[in-house]
């Protein structure tokens, strides 16, 4: 337990003040995102005919609000218990956000053109498309140049934050407690420096940043297909004082690591962007590179099976954003896939719009 979490336990007034500041920050991000989406949506409607969408039951909004409350409660409890430092809850790169925000608006007309022209494989001529699996060459979310440009890497996290009302990081943090617990139980004799953790599909490094805060001395690695996103991750992680995680450009279906290299693996928001066979191949690779006893933690979109009331929202997401494998994903049996890859599923849970699966390689 850290000094700060100790102080929070002992001084209830301090705890109440920090907790309220955290909630204020989270709700302000939520309102800003709502305002952004409303204004952007209105402008889009003026320019293009609206998309046919599934009607949402009014009760869904109440359920969503409850899920946000539960997510914030859990996030606060984990920080207070010292699973990760309380300052992680307040780490916001506002300067970066406000610098990028006008560029995000400048890019929106191109995304709308793509969305309304149904062009989901639209890359500028200078983008090198060789050596990627065909399923990857998509403008996910109708992003300009998909995952293959520095500009896309610069805007990605802000787009995700606006989409999730500023709750993306709080959802990602839900992997930290089960991972910490799994490692402590399975490898009690390993020193913190001997622990090796890999983040698969690490993108711009948000999860690695959280992993570093939670495991300050561990050997961290990240793998991703996008050099541009890895460059952004490198830039972000260089600001942390601890050892820089090792970032490697590779396909997660064939990772350049020896068998049983890692004790912990995380895969965050990746599986919904893979077709079924690639999902299975990545899980098989995860099994190969994880030590027996090691823990795999997955965070991804909710699915029909765990959140049937939210199905209309999921279908709207698939229609509105370019997510070619998402409809298949929402009905896929991830537990069966994980078991088929050789893992034992320990626990599944849902937090806001994400589901979490904790599995162990026995
Ligand atoms: C939706 S983003 C999630 C990124 C990050 N994990 C996060 O939480 O923001 C999906 C990431 O998976 C990566 N990716 C997709 N297919 C991959 C594959 N076959 N091998 C490695 N990375 C892949 C993409 O480049 C992208 O960075």
pLDDT in tens, 237-280: 998 888 899 999 999 999 999 999 999 999 999 999 999 999 99
- Residue 149 C-beta-side C-alpha neighbours within 13 Å: 16
Contact 327, 308 (CB under 8 A): no
**CA 32 to CA 13: how far, in whole Å?**
28
The backbone torsions φ and ψ at residue 83, rounded to the nearest 5 degrees and listed phi first, read: -60, -40
pLDDT of residue 121: 94
pLDDT at 4 over 80: no
In the block, tokens 């260089």 appear at: 238
When the pLDDT of each residue in the chain is averaged and rounded to a whole number, the result is 94
pLDDT at 11 over 90: no
pLDDT of residue 115: 92
**CA 60 to CA 77: how far, in whole Å?**
26
pLDDT at 100 over 80: yes
Secondary structure element (H or E) that encloses residue 350, with its range: strand 344-351
**What is the dihedral sign for C-alpha 330, 332, 336, 339?**
negative
In the reported structure, the alpha carbon of residue 261 is separated from the centroid of ligand 1 by a whole-number distance in angstroms of: 21
Mean pLDDT of 189-216: 97
pLDDT at 71 over 90: yes
Mean pLDDT of 150-163: 95
pLDDT at 341 over 80: yes
End-to-end Cα, the chain, rounded Å: 29
**CA 354 to CA 221: how far, in whole Å?**
23
What's the pLDDT tens digit per position in 103-127?
999 999 999 999 999 899 999 999 9
**What is the dihedral sign for C-alpha 16, 22, 23, 25?**
positive
Strands 262-268 and 246-249: unpaired
**CA 100 to CA 46: how far, in whole Å?**
25
Within the chain, what is the greatest distance between any pair of CA atoms? 62
In the reported structure, the alpha carbon of residue 255 is separated from the centroid of ligand 1 by a whole-number distance in angstroms of: 14
pLDDT of residue 99: 87
- Per-residue pLDDT band for 58 (boundaries 50, 70, 90) equals confident
pLDDT of residue 105: 96
- Per-residue pLDDT band for 359 (boundaries 50, 70, 90) equals very high
pLDDT of residue 93: 75
Give the residue, out of 162, 200, 201, with the most ligand 1 atoms within 8 A of its beta carbon, to mutate for a pocket test.
201
Neighbours of 196 (CB within 10 A): 21
Contact 271, 282 (CB under 8 A): yes
In the reported structure, the alpha carbon of residue 199 is separated from the centroid of ligand 1 by a whole-number distance in angstroms of: 10
- Per-residue pLDDT band for 160 (boundaries 50, 70, 90) equals very high
Measuring from each residue's beta carbon to the nearest atom of ligand 1, which residues come in under 6 Å? 136, 147, 172, 201-203, 206-207, 224-226, 229, 251-253, 268-270, 273-274
**CA 81 to CA 9: how far, in whole Å?**
9
pLDDT at 1 over 70: no
pLDDT at 56 over 90: no
pLDDT of residue 197: 98
Which 3 state secondary structure label does DSSP give 213? helix
- Per-residue pLDDT band for 295 (boundaries 50, 70, 90) equals very high
- Per-residue pLDDT band for 320 (boundaries 50, 70, 90) equals confident
**CA 303 to CA 57: how far, in whole Å?**
18
Atom of ligand 1 nearest to the CA of 135: 16
Contact 334, 316 (CB under 8 A): no
pLDDT at 206 over 80: yes
């Amino acid at each position: 337990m850290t000094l700060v979490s100790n102080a929070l336990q002992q001084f209830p007034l301090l705890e109440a003040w920090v907790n309220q500041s955290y909630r204020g920050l989270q709700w302000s991000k939520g309102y800003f995102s709502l305002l952004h989406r409303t204004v952007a949506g209105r402008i889009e409607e003026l320019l293009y005919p609206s998309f046919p969408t599934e009607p949402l039951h009014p009760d869904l909004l109440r359920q969503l609000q409850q899920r946000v409350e539960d997510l914030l409660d859990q996030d606060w409890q984990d920080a207070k218990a010292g699973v990760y430092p309380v300052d992680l809850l307040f780490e916001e790169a506002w300067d970066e956000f406000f610098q990028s925000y006008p560029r995000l608006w400048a890019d929106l007309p191109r995304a709308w053109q793509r969305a309304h022209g149904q062009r989901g494989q639209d890359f500028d001529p200078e983008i090198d498309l060789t050596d990627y699996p065909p399923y990857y060459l998509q403008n996910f979310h109708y992003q300009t140049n998909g995952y293959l440009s520095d500009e896309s890497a610069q805007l990605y996290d802000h787009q995700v934050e606006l989409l999730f009302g500023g709750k993306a990081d709080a959802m990602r943090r839900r992997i930290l407690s089960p991972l910490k617990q799994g490692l402590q139980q399975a490898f009690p004799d390993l020193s913190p420096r001997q622990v090796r953790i890999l983040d698969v599909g690490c993108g711009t490094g948000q999860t690695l940043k959280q992993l570093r805060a939670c495991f300050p001395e561990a050997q961290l690695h990240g793998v991703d297909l996008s050099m541009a996103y890895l460059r952004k991750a490198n830039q972000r992680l260089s600001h942390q004082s601890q050892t820089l995680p090792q970032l490697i450009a590779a396909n997660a279906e064939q990772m350049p690591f020896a068998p049983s290299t890692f004790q912990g693996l995380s895969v965050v928001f990746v599986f919904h962007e893979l077709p079924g066979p690639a999902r299975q191949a990545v899980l098989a690779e995860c099994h190969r590179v994880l030590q027996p006893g090691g823990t795999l933690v997955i965070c991804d979109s909710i699915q029909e099976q765990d959140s049937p009331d939210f199905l209309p929202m999921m279908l709207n997401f698939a229609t509105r954003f370019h997510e070619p494998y998402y409809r298949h994903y929402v009905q896929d049996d991830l537990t069966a896939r994980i078991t088929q890859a050789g893992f034992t599923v320990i626990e599944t849970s849902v937090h806001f719009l994400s589901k979490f699966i904790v599995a162990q390689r026995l």
